[in-house]
Structures are given as C-alpha cells and as structure tokens.
Structure 1
Amino acid sequence: MSVISDPTVLDGQSRSPGTYEIEDLLELAERDDLAEAAVEEPEGADQLVQLQAKVAMLEAQTALRAAGPQTRRLVRGRYRSVGGESQLELRVDVDGFRPTMRVSGDFFQTSGTTTGYVGSFVLDAPTVSSTPGVVRIEGTAKFGFPVAARHVRVVIPRASGPSHGPVSATVHFSAAGGAATATYLCGFVSPHFRSIKLEQDSVAGTVPFIEYNTGSLPQPPSSPTRTLTLSKAFEEAGIEVQLAGTSNTVPVGGAGTDAKWDEAELHNAMVNHFSLWRDTPLWQAWLLVATSFVQEGVRGIMFDADGAFQRQGYAVFHDAIQGQDPASQRAQLRTYVHELGHAFNLLHSWDKNFAEPPQPLGPNGGLGDLSWMNYTWKFQPPPPAAGGEAAYWAAFPFQFTDNELVHLRHGFFRDVVMGGNPFGVGAAEVDPELFGDPVTDHCGLTLELRSARAFAYGQPVVVELKLSSPDRRGRVTHDRLGPADGFVTIAVRTPSGQVRTYRPPLVRCLEDNVQTRVVTEENAVYKSAYIGYGRDGLYFEQPGRYQLRAQYVASDGSRVLSNVQHLTVRTPRTDADEHVAELMMGDQQGTLFYLLGSSAESLTDGNDALQEVIEQYGDHPLAVYPRLVKGVNASRDFKYLTADRNLYTVPADPRESIQHLDSVVEASTGEDGVDNLTLNWVMRRRARMEARTGDLGRATRSLDGMATFFRDTKGLREPVVRGIAAQAEQTKERITDENR
C-alpha cells in the first residue's frame, strides 16, 4: 500500500517503499508543518491510508520547494494500487495531448495466487480544480456493476523535480460525496493509458511495414509532419504497443503453389504459432503478414472472432498492399493500424451504432469520419463536400476520432482487452428502433431479404439478399452484400422477443472501390448468407417464430432497410430429428458451417460430429449440410502452420469432393436441400474438381447444363438464368487457366 516512490531516510536509515510501519509514517508526518496542508483528509479512511496520503504530498511539496520554480508536471497517465486483495488500475486523462477529460479504472481481486477482474468505472464529466501543487478531480461515475459509492474524488500532487519521480494518486469512493467508503493509493505506472504486447510474424516473400513520414505526401496543414510506425500511431492515442517475442519468418517451401489464406488456416496458424496465445483476456495480440486472402480485394482481416476468447489475432495481406513508394507506405500504415484497431474492439466508422451498447455515429452516418477505422474509398462527408480516397487523404490527420479515443483509453476492461467481450459487444442489447423505417428515403435502392419460411431444428439458417433499384436508370453503389464485408447488418428478433444483431465470426476489410450500376432484375445483386452462427454463438437454437430485417449502407451513406422476413424453427418430430440436431448444433459445428469446412485440429470434434451424421443418418434431410461442408473442404488445399514454424499443405481430394457435392446437388433438386444461390456455387465448384481429376469433358457438360437446370427444374426467371449462364462461362475460363 505504500505510495512513497523513492527510498526515504528515517532515523538515518534508507527505507524502501512498502517497509514502513505506522509509527514511521507518524514520525514523517510530524516532521513538517506542511503535513496538515498536504492533502484533505478523507473522512472514514483508516489511519494508515491517511498518513500515506499525507507523506506522499509532503514529499512532493518538499521536492518542489527545494527545486524552485518549475514547469507543472502533467498528471495524465496510468496509476496502480499495490498490496491487499483488492487492486485498482486508474487512468487519468485531464491534461496532455488530446485529453478526453475523463477518469476511469478497473478493479481486480486477488485470492491466493490468482487475480480476477471485478468491474470498471468511468467518470465522464468530472470537476477539475488545480493549484500549483495539487490537482483534484471529482464527480459521479458510471460503474459496470452495482455499487452505492459512485462519487469519485482523485487527488494528485503536481510536484516534480530532477531527482523526484512521479508521485501517486489518492482515490476516494463515497456515496454522494459523503464519508469515503474506500480509498486507494495508486502509484504512477506509465504515461500510457493501456499497454499491449504485439507478436508479429511474416510469411516468406512478404515485406513487413516499418514506418511512414507523413510529410512525404500532401496532408492537412493542421497535421504535423512526423514519422509514424504502428506503435507510434497508437502511442499518439495514449496506447503503448510493445513488440514481444521474436519476429519470425515463416518458410513456404511446403505450402506448394497455393499462396492464398482463408479464415480457417489463419485461425489454425494463430493457435499453433502465437507463443503468447491463451484462452483468457490478456493485453496481447498476434499479427501475421501473409501473402493474400482467398477473396480478392481484402487488405486485412481480424480473423479471430469466434469462440469464447476473441480479437487476439489479425492479419494483413502483403500482395494487396505492397509497395515502397510513399502512397503504398501510407496505405500500409493505415491498414496495420486499422486491423489492430479491430483487435481493440473498434468497429468500422459506419458500424458503431450496431455495437452493444450502440455508439454515436460521426458525420454522414459515420462515413464522414476522418479516422483510421474508415475506408479511404468509402469516405463521404455530408454533401456537397467531395468524398473518396483523394478527399480522405487531403483531410486525414492520422489519428482516431474523439469517441474512438474514449473507447481505447476508457472503455471497460472486457470491452477493450483482447480475449474479452466478443467483437462489437459491450453491455447492452440492441435497440430495435435501429431498424425502424426512415422518415425520408430518396436513395433509389431496394433491399430484399428472403429465406425459407420454415427450418428444421438444427438446420443451418441461410438467407438471400437482393439489392435492386426501381429506377430503370439504376443507381451506382457497391455490391458488398455479405455480412462479413461490413456493409450489411441483420437484426434477429427471437421467439422470446429479444432483438440481436447477427455478427459474423470475422471482419474482412475490403479496400477496393468496386462500384456497380444496380437496376431491376437485369442487374440486381444477389448474395446468400449463412447466419446461424456468429460471434455470439448460435442464433436459432430455440424453436419458434423469428423475425429478421437487414440494413445495407450504400456508397453515399444511405441506409437501405429490407422487408421484415418471418421464419419458423420447427420442434423436432422424432428421436432421429433430435439426435441429428444435437450433432449439428455446437460452436465447432457452427464454425465449420460458416467456413464451409476446415482441417484445423481445433475443430476435430465438430468434424467428427458431422461425419457421424453422414454415417449414421445419411438418409436424413439435414445430412445434405454435413456433406456440403465435407465436399467443399475436400476441394481445397489447406495450409497448416505448425508450432515449430513449418508450413505445409494438406492437398485437396477432388474425388472425395465430387462424391459429396454430387449428393448435395441430388438432394437439392426438389424443395429440400440447399438454397439456389448455394446450389449454383456448389455446381461450379464441382465442375472445377471434375476438371482437376482430368475429366474436362464432364466439367464442361456440368457447366453447360446449369442454365437449363435452373430454368426448368427450379423455375427461375430468365434474367436470373442469364446471370447463371454468365457465371458458368466465367468458371469455364477459370478452369482453362487452372489446367494449362
């Protein structure tokens, strides 16, 4: 509990912090008549605490008097109490660079050799009084747990000197400013509000980003020229990023020609390769500089967003951001900072209102934010100001927004720490009014949400999204309809009345500005999305009636709402129905359905359960879904990064893939089986496997028959059929390239 930061001479002997008895403190306090004026005594505090606070102030004022006139010391930073079973980590943010005028803290409890998190508080609008010798901060705080003593008072001496280290903060908690019910003495720890350890590895052939001089290209006049690294960018936000461990280069000799990474491979690599990784909330993260992602246009991904402990791993993709010229280096800096921002639980600028609890959006629904968390091409301030990438860089000061600073510095512990709350989750349910109809709507776009009306218990819930325009001239916007792309949000009202936001297990950051002209059926955009499993686990594990509604964020910031879709999850009718559902409903199975298979060892139990469905219940209608997962997984090479940093590939098995995918197509010719968008994709995937076995003729026949199948068997309209025929031709071209 001692707050004395330097050894103090008492009775001719030097004493270190923590070695004082109460009699020693009494003697120190009585030596100087400044002791009584040193600090306002907290009523109700025990004698030892009172004396320690007095001595701390006495030391500070003595040092100030001896040193003469000096510059006032900032009180900003992180403080921590020591000793005892209850500890407080305090953050004081009332001066220094971009102060948010807040005080916050986290409480921890020690029992034996273990320490657990208790709760957090934040004082948003304190009263700050300052004299040359002391700063007093007080007000009523918000707590993340029930507490009666919500009035907080912090007293910090300002004194400093060449030989005198930082002094401590005395924190009193009371009910409505009355007698203190708890007092903590917190020693100064760091000028940074939080500190994390970052372990970075890179795949051979990639060049990790080092630094960028902001004066290399034009920037806002108000933004000072400086050299920024990933660490320095966060340091300006008050966050210390320490590079930990050894930065390793992962050899690719055993990976073959497949240089693209998918989510399953990345997560498996993190579990095996991140030496600091633990299934627990810790201030540490892992960055992999990989080659490229399986989907074009992805520059980075915070892939660790499933399971109980999320946000510990992210990746950047060198092939999409490489370059040594200033523009490329500037873009690399933004991508690195952006992805690590996701690990701190920062959402995209236009998505913050879907956090739990909702956060305020910036200008033009967040698209006008000059932030690391916005997309350069998506930047769109309120009209008539120009938007786009050039406008973003012309105005961007290389910093987080004010509300992002508040989250980074003062968000409750579990809302910020890696491995804490799931991505986007704070402490409240979603407000259903977020999905209320707009007062005016002149965007000229229509979003339709469709699905089967009824699902069997345990059946993966898949929805179809369609973006079109009633205006025959069309509207220009982006075509990113997948929830993982960040522009579509789906609300789910459960049978119990709770409203939840579907949160996909990962966040992809698409940096390419792909625009399309959306018209009626001729050029509508379609997307199939599995929403049965996400960051919050299973979304349809309760039989009953559900309501769904989607929202799409267009290129100009317009928010387009879909229809309200109703669906029912039926109660199991037989013992077999119930057993199949049990085998298909679990975190690992949900992850496998989302990823469409994985060879990761961490998902072995889930793979075994799906295999049991195929073997024991092969005739059950739901067996089509495990076959889909097995068939797709067998169609791809799986990169495996071992703990000893060897990278090798588990090769695809085209014949096994064809066997499973044939079963999927056969089971989906009627009204059962997978949805039409998924079936379209499966048939094209199967054709690629047929070509890979050397049977190009069969692959060609499969693709040539797709348009007729969907017209005659599925009854799709002619504009949709023409689109399917075009996709089949594109697959033929891809097969030709792959088999040259």
Structure 2
Amino acid sequence: MSTASGDPTTGTADFSAAPLADASLPEEWETGQGAITGQRTIEVNGDEQQPPAGELSGDVSVSPRPGGIAIPAFRPTRGRYRGSSDGYELDLRVDVDSVPGGPKVLRKVSGDFLSTGGATKAYFGSFIVHSPTVSRTATKVVIKGAADYTWQTAYVLVQVTIPRSRANQRPGAATVEFLRPPGQLGATYVCPYVSQYFRTVEWEQDSVTGAVPFLSYDTGSLPQPANSPARVLTVPRAYAEAGIELLVSGTANVIANSRNGWTNTELHAAMETNFSLWRNTPQWKLWLLVASRYEGVEGVRGIMFDAADAFQRQGCAVFYDMVQGNDPESQRAMLRTYVHELGHSFNLLHSWQKNLGQPPVPLGGNNGFADLSWMNYAQNYQPLNGNGGTAAYWGAFPFQFTDNEQIHLRHGFYRNVIMGANAFAAGAADIEPELFDEPLTDDSGLRLALRSDKNGFAFGEPVVVELKLETTDLRGRSTHNHLHPDDELVNIAIRQPSGRTVLYRPLLRRCVDQDQTIRLDTGRPAIYSSAYIGYGRDGHYFEQPGTYQLRAAYLASDGSRIVSPVLRLNVRHPVSQADVQLAELMMGEEQGKILALRGSDSPSLRSGNDALQEIIERHGTHPFAVYARLAKGLNFEHEFKSLSPDKTELTVRPPDPKSGIEQLTQVVKVSEQGKGVDNLTLNLATRRLARAYARQGDLEEANSTLDRLMRHFDTPAFKPYVVDAVRDQVDTTKARLTAEFGS
C-alpha cells in the first residue's frame, strides 16, 4: 500500500500524491456506447483470422481449415474475480460476455476495494467502467476503459487482461492494471476467478405458524411472452437470472403468530431477535419473515420495514393472508411479491420512484409505469400505447429486472447495494426542485391540493397536512385511491427556510400492492388523506423557524403526474423558555419515530416515550399534549408483540383499553372543539376510542362514541359526499366491533 497517497490504484511506485489528471484519454481508449470495439482476432492453427460474423460474446467455436483440429468453445469472460496487492483487496466483476441461456450481458466492469490490516478488512471505495472496449485473441481478452470512482484519483484508466479458457478449463486469473493518462502504470492486481455470480448474498427466511412459504412457480403454467422461455422459478433462481447468488442459510424458524397482525416496530424487533445472521453492520445478509398480515392498512402484500435506523435494508416481510393461494395466478403473484420486497433490501426503488433516489436514475416510459419489472406493480403497468393493468402486465412480463436495475444489482457502488450501509434510496434527501414543476399540459381531469387547517405551527409542533384529489371532468375520472405518502404514489417536496429542497421520505414505507380503483364524479368528486410529515427517514424536516414551501405530486393510474399548488407554512419562533423546553421534549429523534409510528413499546424508544409522558403529566393543557396523548392512546389500544431472547416464545403485551380510553377521550374532546388534531385524524382517533370501549365489553358506549362522530360531521360545514363517506365508515366499524366483541 502506498502510504503517501493512500490510493489503491497508484501502486507502490507512486511515492507522492498524484494530482488529478486533466489529460484526454488516449485514442485507443476512446469508447463507443458500450459496443465491443478494437482488434478482435482468433488464432487458428497458428494464423490469425477474424471471428465469425455476428460473434459478440467470445463464447464461440471456430471451424479449422482443412486438416486442422477442431477448437472447442471458449469459456465466456464474465463473473467475479478477487485478488490482493499492498494492503488492498480487490473484488472485481467482469460483465462483457453472455452465457447461452444465462443472465444478459451488460458490458460493464466494476470493483470494490477493501483495505486490509492484520486480520481485519474495511471498505475503501468502488469503481465502474460503463463503456469498455474489448479486444480478443485466441489467448486473451483485453478490456479497457475510463472508470467512475467513489474517490478522486489520477489513475482513471482501467485495463483488465484475462486469459482465454476452453469450456473444459477453469477460468484463468484476471490481471487488473490502473493507469494515469496517457499511460503511466499504477497498481496491478492479479485476481483469481471466484464465481460466475457478480455478488453473493446470504438469505435467511422465517415464517409464522400457519404460513406456508413460497417454493416455486412454473412460468409456463399461464400465458407469457413469446420471448420469455418457460422455466421453474424459485426466488434464488429469479435473482440468479440477474447475476446474483442468493444462498439460503441460517435456520428456517417458525414463530408464534398473532391474529392481530404485525406492525413495523414489531417486525424490526422480531428481526433483531430471530435473524441468526443479524448484526448492526454492513453485510451481504438479509432476512425475510412470512408474517400473517400487516396491522392497520388493508391491501399490504409486503414491506421492507427496516428503513428507520442507521443500518437499513436488512429485513423485509411478506404477508401470507394477502398472498396465499395454490392456484397458478396466486403462485405467480407470490413469486413477484417475494422478489419485489427483497429488491428493496438491495436498495431498488419502485419503478415510478427512481428519479427520487440519490443519485437519481431516469424513469422508464410513462413515468415508470411502463416498466416490465419485478419492481413495478402489476395493476400499475401502463404503457404509453396500448392497454395496461394486471392482465397486460403478466401478458408481457419476462420475469426479470430492467437493465438499469440489473446494473445496480451487479455493479452499483458497494455502499449503495450492501444491506446495512447507505439508507434506502441511497442517502441524502436533497432533490432538484424542478422535479415538482407543473406539467406543460394537463389533460388528466384531476386536481391535487395540499393544505393545512392551521395558519402557522408552533416551533416543535407536529406538522400535519391534508391532501385532496378531485376531478375536474364532469364526466368523471377513474384512478387509484392511494393518496397517503406512505403508499409511495404521492411525494411531497419541502423547501426549507435555508433554501434547501428535500423530499419527505416516510418512516413507514409499505407496498400496498392491490388494485384500488375509484371513480371520481359528481356523486363523489374528491377523496382526502391526512399525513404527519414532520418526521421521516431523514429525521425532522421542520427544525427551524421560518417559512416553508411545500408541493405534492400524485402519480395517477394512467401515468399522469398531478402537481399541487405551493403551500406555504410558517413555523413560529419560540417566545419563552417554556416554549423552548416543550419543543425539545417534542423534537427528539425517538419522539419523532413514535409520532410517525403512532405509538410503540419498542425498548429502543423508551426515552422518547418518557418525554411524551412528561408532556402529558406536566403540560397536560398545552396544545402539544394532544399529540402525545394521541400516540400513547393509539399504542395502548392495541397489543405489542415481541420475541423472547431464546426465540421460542412470542410475548404479547395485551391491549390496555382503560389507558387508551383515558388518552383518546382527551384527544377527541379537544379536537371536537377545533383545538386539537385535524378532522381526518379525529375520525381515526374516535373510531379507535370506540374499539377501546368495545374491548372493555361496553359496546353501547362504543356505538355512542361512533354516533357522536357522525354528529360532528353531519353538519353544513362538510360536503354531502364527505358525510356519506364518514357514515359508511361508522356503519362498517359498528359491524366489525359487534362481530369481534359482541356476545
């Protein structure tokens, strides 16, 4: 290792820190658009000949001249290689040859450097050559190109030389040279062949009692595209087709189940207890739980729940109650859900969200809805020309990731892919404000509004906004009703007083992978949603007094992007020391998580719960107390599940309806007077209060509570269709409570 420069590309001969090169690339290094160029000859019986017309992969055989000896096919030049030099280990990925029937060739070379010392290793950096030139002779393959690095180096040129091997020979070692333009040699690594796969991940899967994990699906069981061969796909085999080795490891544990479903915090606690390979450190290991159902939201098929701490993307879940079924349609959809949720653990976003990641990736057709990918929703599929929807998706889906997704899986920079490293969506939330500019034309027949029922917020007060989607077409329009940011079909941009524009990224991110089409017309012209956006995956978004500008974007079923007008919110300066102290009690990291999760018993959030309890006990009449009571009350009203340290027993803290009633009654009372939470949250709190009464065996008081909710909304202040929607909710809740708690 060159201790002077600390750069694994320089080599020991470089004893001074080299300046960054500004020289242009040598002519022989210039590249095209990923095409194979340069000299490509094959030596046959001692003579050089041009390879057969159309041969691009190197996996060829050449017929000899009369009297010559037949030459067996060359082994394709692709896979993973590993070698060391001067204190660094290089994990090299070569992706320039195709394998008949194997993963698609992407024409890339990439690598990760680990610094080594004694018995320890640490990640140093990564590089990728996007458009290499490739030349071949009968004895070797030479790959050249300029690389993008995660650090600055003068040695921007990479040359990889690999001996050509016959099909019956083991692949030879790759020699990797790093050069400074125009050709000064730096470090050299000799990397023996390791695997045909570009990355290897250990996958541990557990399930709850009664849930049968997915095994395999024969893609020929149902009609499929002509260019997609029929084959039996398991989850590991689906990833193998993308060049990723998914090794099933650990013990397949069966966990006791609860009929009331699972929350994010319970899933995370289950992972920490039951994932035998789990550590809070970056590692190529992930966990999937086949749980019963997701608590509180209908239609959730799966979730990558590990998106809230410093070591994200280690765990995900699929919900058996939503995906179960032995018929081919159910098995096909189940395969997609497993691959989809594991894809999030690799830091793949939904097809329509890739432009919101860091770094952003261009969207596919029709704002990403036209992608034929594991990461799209079947019901969201909408090509620019032709019919979309679930049937069209399955009729065209070749059971694979898109090219850009495969580039990420195989060649993405180490910390952007490995579990437990960079956060989901790969880091900072800064976005370009232009992403939320109004469309030049809008014939969608839909209008989005973002608003607040407050003129301003006190410093530290939870920021809640209301979203309204309405039709502007008297004939009516059909679209989906996923209007909450947690469902990831609505995004909210926040321009902070400092001038920085960030994307609100919800702490809860779930895959509501269910077709919920609604019709907006004169009978029901609008739908509404309420969202707490004060805290998300990047922490608190409203940390300073001043004026904030907010804008929302809704992606409709047909791919139309509907943008709201700008909403301006003022966060007032604290005027007293008491205001500052209350703000500190509200704005801790743990308090933000508890408010976003609507309560939690997680031991890791104990100090946050203590702070909220202090607000209730010492400042019970302050406006902030209603938010503390809401989080506490909702948490008391339902159970909390945790696994015992020996992983054999599921401990369930039963609901505490008495404490829930105590807190939620105050929330409802203050909010009915217009001094508490917004009307949509009041609706939720009142229905949960009614359930708490029903748990206590007092169905009469539960029904009276729901009747009071109906009276609150059944006034001229609310539009008739809103009153009708609340009445439907009240009637449905009464029926459920009677069925669950009635005698």
Q: Shared fold (TM-score greater than 0.5)? A: yes
User: Taking structure 1 as reference, are residues 496 and 726 closer, same or farther at Cα in structure 2, changes over 3 Å only?
Assistant: same
Equivalent pair of 1:492/1:549 in contact (CA under 8 Å):
yes
* Match status 1:709 vs 2:712: yes
Opposite residue 688 of structure 2, the aligned amino acid is: R
| Residue equivalent to 2:565 | 563
Tell me the CA shift for residue 641 of structure 1: 2.3
User: Taking structure 1 as reference, are residues 739 and 304 closer, same or farther at Cα in structure 2, changes over 3 Å only?
Assistant: same
CA offset digits 1:225-250 (Å, max 9, x no partner):
11110000000100010111111111
| Residue equivalent to 2:360 | 358
Tell me the CA shift for residue 507 of structure 1: 2.6
| Residue equivalent to 2:583 | 581
Tell me the CA shift for residue 719 of structure 1: 4.0
In the aligned structure 1, how far is the partner of 2:707 from the partner of 2:656? 24
* Match status 1:192 vs 2:210: no
Tell me the CA shift for residue 501 of structure 1: 1.1
| Residue equivalent to 2:112 | 106
Opposite residue 526 of structure 1, the aligned amino acid is: Y
2:679 alignment partner, one of 676, 681, 701: 676
Q: Secondary structure at the match of 2:154?
A: coil
Tell me the CA shift for residue 479 of structure 1: 0.3
CA offset digits 1:267-322 (Å, max 9, x no partner):
11112211211111111110001111122211111111111111111001111111
Equivalent pair of 2:446/2:469 in contact (CA under 8 Å):
yes
Q: Secondary structure at the match of 2:379?
A: coil
In the aligned structure 1, how far is the partner of 2:206 from the partner of 2:434? 43
| Residue equivalent to 2:251 | 246
Opposite residue 181 of structure 2, the aligned amino acid is: A
Task: Give the TM-score of the pair, scaled to structure 2.
Answer: 0.87
| Residue equivalent to 1:230 | 235
| Residue equivalent to 1:593 | 595
* Match status 1:174 vs 2:179: yes
Equivalent pair of 1:375/1:511 in contact (CA under 8 Å):
yes
Equivalent pair of 1:350/1:365 in contact (CA under 8 Å):
yes
| Residue equivalent to 1:625 | 627
User: Taking structure 1 as reference, are residues 114 and 667 closer, same or farther at Cα in structure 2, changes over 3 Å only?
Assistant: farther
Equivalent pair of 1:304/1:506 in contact (CA under 8 Å):
no
Opposite residue 482 of structure 2, the aligned amino acid is: R
In the aligned structure 1, how far is the partner of 2:510 from the partner of 2:474? 32
| Residue equivalent to 1:425 | 426
User: Taking structure 1 as reference, are residues 426 and 628 closer, same or farther at Cα in structure 2, changes over 3 Å only?
Assistant: closer
| Residue equivalent to 1:387 | 388
Opposite residue 391 of structure 1, the aligned amino acid is: A
* Match status 1:532 vs 2:520: no
| Residue equivalent to 1:310 | 312
Tell me the CA shift for residue 577 of structure 1: 1.9
In the aligned structure 1, how far is the partner of 2:523 from the partner of 2:461? 30
In the aligned structure 2, how far is the partner of 1:109 from the partner of 1:284? 21
Opposite residue 159 of structure 1, the aligned amino acid is: S
Opposite residue 560 of structure 2, the aligned amino acid is: S
Opposite residue 241 of structure 1, the aligned amino acid is: L
Equivalent pair of 1:78/1:191 in contact (CA under 8 Å):
yes
* Match status 1:492 vs 2:494: yes
Opposite residue 115 of structure 1, the aligned amino acid is: K
For 1:327-406, what aligned pairs fall within 5 Å after superposition? 327-383=329-385, 385-406=386-407
Task: Give the stretch that moved more between structures: 336-345 or 583-592.
Answer: 583-592
Q: Greater helix share, 1 or 2? A: 1
| Residue equivalent to 1:415 | 416
In the aligned structure 2, how far is the partner of 1:134 from the partner of 1:480? 55
Equivalent pair of 2:429/2:502 in contact (CA under 8 Å):
no
Q: Secondary structure at the match of 2:511?
A: strand
* Match status 1:502 vs 2:511: no
2:151 alignment partner, one of 123, 145, 149: 145
Tell me the CA shift for residue 670 of structure 1: 4.1
Opposite residue 707 of structure 1, the aligned amino acid is: M
Opposite residue 479 of structure 2, the aligned amino acid is: T
In the aligned structure 2, how far is the partner of 1:194 from the partner of 1:217? 31
| Residue equivalent to 1:117 | 123
User: Taking structure 1 as reference, are residues 506 and 169 closer, same or farther at Cα in structure 2, changes over 3 Å only?
Assistant: farther
Equivalent pair of 2:73/2:167 in contact (CA under 8 Å):
no
User: Taking structure 1 as reference, are residues 331 and 123 closer, same or farther at Cα in structure 2, changes over 3 Å only?
Assistant: same
For 1:206-217, what aligned pairs fall within 5 Å after superposition? 206-217=211-222
Equivalent pair of 1:357/1:430 in contact (CA under 8 Å):
no
Task: Give the stretch that moved more between structures: 670-679 or 279-288.
Answer: 670-679
In the aligned structure 2, how far is the partner of 1:546 from the partner of 1:428? 16
In the aligned structure 2, how far is the partner of 1:169 from the partner of 1:495? 53
Q: Secondary structure at the match of 1:507?
A: coil
Q: Secondary structure at the match of 2:510?
A: strand
For 1:42-53, what aligned pairs fall within 5 Å after superposition? none
In the aligned structure 1, how far is the partner of 2:117 from the partner of 2:532? 44
Matched-pair identity in %: 54
Tell me the CA shift for residue 609 of structure 1: 2.1
CA offset digits 1:89-128 (Å, max 9, x no partner):
1111111231111111112223444322222111111111
1:205 alignment partner, one of 206, 210, 217: 210
CA offset digits 1:450-506 (Å, max 9, x no partner):
123322222221111111012232211110011121210111111111111111123
Size of the alignment, in residue pairs?
669
Task: Give the TM-score of the pair, scaled to structure 1.
Answer: 0.87
Opposite residue 701 of structure 1, the aligned amino acid is: S
In the aligned structure 2, how far is the partner of 1:75 from the partner of 1:580? 63
In the aligned structure 2, how far is the partner of 1:248 from the partner of 1:542? 47
CA offset digits 1:364-390 (Å, max 9, x no partner):
22111111111111111112x111111
| Residue equivalent to 2:273 | 272
In the aligned structure 2, how far is the partner of 1:426 from the partner of 1:702? 45
CA offset digits 1:190-245 (Å, max 9, x no partner):
11111111110010101101111111111111111111100000001000101111
Task: Give the stretch that moved more between structures: 239-248 or 700-709.
Answer: 700-709
CA offset digits 1:115-153 (Å, max 9, x no partner):
222221111111111112111111211112222221211
For 1:657-676, what aligned pairs fall within 5 Å after superposition? 657-676=660-679
CA offset digits 1:57-92 (Å, max 9, x no partner):
xxxxxxxxxx99332122211112235422221111
Q: Secondary structure at the match of 1:185?
A: strand
For 1:51-66, what aligned pairs fall within 5 Å after superposition? none
User: Taking structure 1 as reference, are residues 359 and 700 closer, same or farther at Cα in structure 2, changes over 3 Å only?
Assistant: same
Equivalent pair of 2:75/2:167 in contact (CA under 8 Å):
no
Equivalent pair of 1:302/1:506 in contact (CA under 8 Å):
no
Task: Give the stretch that moved more between structures: 535-544 or 444-453.
Answer: 535-544
* Match status 1:641 vs 2:643: yes
| Residue equivalent to 1:165 | 170
In the aligned structure 2, how far is the partner of 1:165 from the partner of 1:369? 38
RMSD: 2.1
For 1:690-709, what aligned pairs fall within 5 Å after superposition? 690-709=693-712
Tell me the CA shift for residue 579 of structure 1: 2.0
| Residue equivalent to 1:16 | none
Equivalent pair of 2:695/2:741 in contact (CA under 8 Å):
yes
In the aligned structure 2, how far is the partner of 1:719 from the partner of 1:326? 40
Q: Mark the runs of 5 or more structure 2 residues left unpaired by the alignment.
A: 2-27, 29-68
| Residue equivalent to 1:89 | 91
In the aligned structure 1, how far is the partner of 2:90 from the partner of 2:602? 40
Opposite residue 104 of structure 1, the aligned amino acid is: S
| Residue equivalent to 2:450 | 449
For 1:533-548, what aligned pairs fall within 5 Å after superposition? 533-548=535-550
| Residue equivalent to 2:136 | 130
Equivalent pair of 2:85/2:188 in contact (CA under 8 Å):
no
Equivalent pair of 1:707/1:722 in contact (CA under 8 Å):
no
For 1:286-301, what aligned pairs fall within 5 Å after superposition? 286-294=287-295, 295-301=297-303
In the aligned structure 1, how far is the partner of 2:731 from the partner of 2:480? 23
Tell me the CA shift for residue 428 of structure 1: 8.0
Q: Secondary structure at the match of 2:92?
A: strand
* Match status 1:77 vs 2:82: no
Opposite residue 662 of structure 1, the aligned amino acid is: T
In the aligned structure 1, how far is the partner of 2:428 from the partner of 2:578? 39
User: Taking structure 1 as reference, are residues 623 and 686 closer, same or farther at Cα in structure 2, changes over 3 Å only?
Assistant: same
User: Taking structure 1 as reference, are residues 512 and 621 closer, same or farther at Cα in structure 2, changes over 3 Å only?
Assistant: same
CA offset digits 1:598-624 (Å, max 9, x no partner):
112222222222222222332322121
For 1:17-36, what aligned pairs fall within 5 Å after superposition? none
